[in-house]
A and B are shown apart, each in its own frame.
Chain A
Amino acid sequence: MDYVAQQAMNALSFGAEYALLALGLAIVFSIMGLVNFAHGEIIAVGGYTMVAMAALALSNPLIVIGAAVLAAVAGSMLLERVAFRPVRYADPTTGLLTAFGVSIVLQNLFLLLVSPRPIAVTSLYFLDWPVDLGAIRVSSLQLFEALTTAVVIVALMLFLRRTVLGLAMRAASLDFEMVRLSGIRANRVFAMAFAISGLLAGIACVFIMARRGSVDPHLGFDPVLKAFVACVVGGFGSLPGAVLGGFLLGAVEVAMLVMLPQSLGGMTDAFVFGIIAMVLIWRPDGILSPPVEKGDKI
């Protein structure tokens, strides 16, 4: 029983992280149909910022975390301005391929300008200590992660319901042109979407760094792949779908880790993908895919 509770906690924290990552992707996709593969590199930007903080002998955790998150937000908004604006109104394939290209460029920029080797980031190790909850032992990091994700989701919901820009973003997912016709500046909506996406990436980065303890140019590859899968399963473009997909993916991964015999250990990724593929065949547009209606009754 305790073992189950333990694994449930694992699934929760995995799921929380994937949900965070998936939300970052889903926000951008829901508004402009762009699958932002460069999202992983934003996480790496956060990681390298932490390295820079360490190099500047700034070890105060608040500064390190704050700087990483800020860098992620700024980096994300910069990407939008520079790389994605030309393909803003293009079809999804063009956007997807552009994002691929941006991702490769960034990965190689890290390689070229910083280092091809992993660099240690130790300032966040303190966040990870064992905590006993009754009979089960979990890591404090898992608790932080689950809690933070919950707070983030609530904050996001409030933003999307209470603020004009949030309403505009929701409306834009169905009819961007009409949002512009209501006098709301497209640039602002896009900038805000990428800012939120960057914020989510930055927060995820903090947890990833606390766990991994190092950053390398290809750090972003795995997270963005997971985020991608989570979004797809949940229904690409749907925000609740992204959260659902994230937790589902976390659960499946933990289940695979637990259930697969030792010998098949290396195949976890492949099995996970296999299950995802099967979900897609059952529900090709994802489980909670967003509506396509445009609000006209003709």
Chain B
Amino acid sequence: MLNVTDLRVYHGPIEAVHGITFQVKPGQCVSLLGPNGAGKTSTLSAITGIARATGTIAFDGTDMGGLPVEARMRRGLAISPEGRRVFANLTVSENLRLGAAMRPEGQAERIARWFDTFPILGERRDQQAGTLSGGEQQMLAIARALMSEPRILLLDEPSLGLAPRIVAQIFAMIETLRQQGMTILLVEQNATQALRLSDYAYLLNNGRIVAEGTAGTLGQSDALMAELTGIG
């Protein structure tokens, strides 16, 4: 579904990603792993169109280069970005309603379903999103992204800054999505959890892909673990 070829991402004059190639097949959950500063978020920014990039980003066969951000998202992308970025001055319901902007029909039912799945969001439906806890905001960010019924979900560091128990909840949610057939591109520093969910993973470091493989092979590679954890 998503084919990225020779992607170079720039922040101003600085090249942050030096030509990477990867793909996400329909129904797959693919992870981009790596330490801080490896270029994972930059890659997602390039896909959404926020960051300047060269190379080919093909979604469903068509090159998205040159398309503005909104147009790309309207093709069927949705993102829960780094830092959640919920709309702090809007209520939980309003956040979800904005998320549904691209798919307004039947949003009331979908919102109700989310409140069923996450009672806590339902409880806080009229609360300002900025007052929610980190975990609740992450749930809201993912729910908001899914309101547009996307073809592919981009998740940027969903576990960042959250307590382990909440992280487990979030990853359980992602696992459920995966089982429902959602295509997911997951960016994570928490490699263990990510590998558990993924069909395939790429390891980034310093803007390049240094390793890739199925979750099984990567998970067992000692060299890889050393690379990821810095030990051994």
How would residues 85 to 110 of chain B score, 1 for a CB under 8 Å from any chain A CB and 0 otherwise? Answer: 11111100010011101101000000
Number of interface residues of A (CB under 8 A): 27
Q: B130, A293: Cβ atoms under 8 Å?
A: yes
A175 and B62 alpha carbons, distance in the complex (Å): 29
Which residues of A, 249-287, contact B by the 8 Å Cβ criterion? none
In the bound complex, residues from chain B placing their C-beta under 8 Å from that of A177 are 50, 69
**C-alpha gap A173/B133 in the complex (Å):** 22
**Interface presence of B144 (CB below 8 A):** yes
In the complex, chain A residues whose CB is within 8 Å of the CB of B133: 297
CB-based nearest A residue for B70:
A185
Q: Residue A215 at the B interface, CB < 8 A?
A: no
With the chains together, A224 CA to B167 CA distance in Å? 51
- Interface pair A182/B129, CB less than 8 Å apart: no
Considering the complex, which residues of chain B in the window 181-232 have a beta carbon less than 8 Å from any beta carbon of chain A? none
Structural contact, A295 and B84, CB atoms closer than 8 A: yes
> Given A164-B97, A297-B133 in contact, is the A174-B70 Cβ separation under 8 Å?
no
Asked whether any CB of chain A lies closer than 8 Å to the CB of B65, the reply is no
Q: A179-196 CB contact bits vs B (8 Å, 1 = yes)?
A: 111111110000000000
* Contacts A182-B148, A184-B70, A298-B83 given; does A174 touch B89 at CB 8 Å: yes
Residues of B within 8 A of A294 (CB): 83, 85, 88
Choose from B99, B134, B160 the contact partner of A182 (Cβ within 8 Å): B99
Nearest-CB residue, chain B, relative to A177: B50
Q: Which residue among A170, A186, A294, A295 has the maximum number of chain B CB atoms within 10 Å of its CB? A: A295
How many residues in B have their beta carbons less than 8 Å from beta carbons of A? 34
List residues of chain B with CB within 8 A of the CB of A182.
73, 98-99, 101-102, 144, 148
B31 at the binding interface (Cβ < 8 Å): no
Are A296 and B83 closer than 8 Å at their CB atoms? yes
Task: Determine the distance from Cα of A290 to Cα of B128 in the docked complex, in whole angstroms.
Answer: 14
Contact of B89 among A185, A291, A297 (CB under 8 A): A291
Q: Is B158 in contact with chain A by the CB < 8 A criterion?
A: no
Residues of A near B102 (CB, < 8 A) are 182-183
B69-A180 in contact (CB<8A): yes
Flag if A171 contacts B89 (CB, 8 Å). Answer: yes
Contacts of B37 in A (CB 8 A): none
The 7 A-B pairs of least Cβ separation, nearest first, read: A296-B83, A295-B88, A297-B134, A171-B87, A183-B73, A183-B102, A295-B86
Q: Show the binding face of A for B, using Cβ within 8 Å.
A: 161, 164, 167-168, 170-171, 173-175, 177-186, 290-291, 293-298
Could you list some 10 contacts between A and B, CB below 8 A? A167-B98, A168-B98, A168-B101, A171-B89, A175-B85, A179-B87, A294-B85, A295-B85, A297-B133, A298-B134
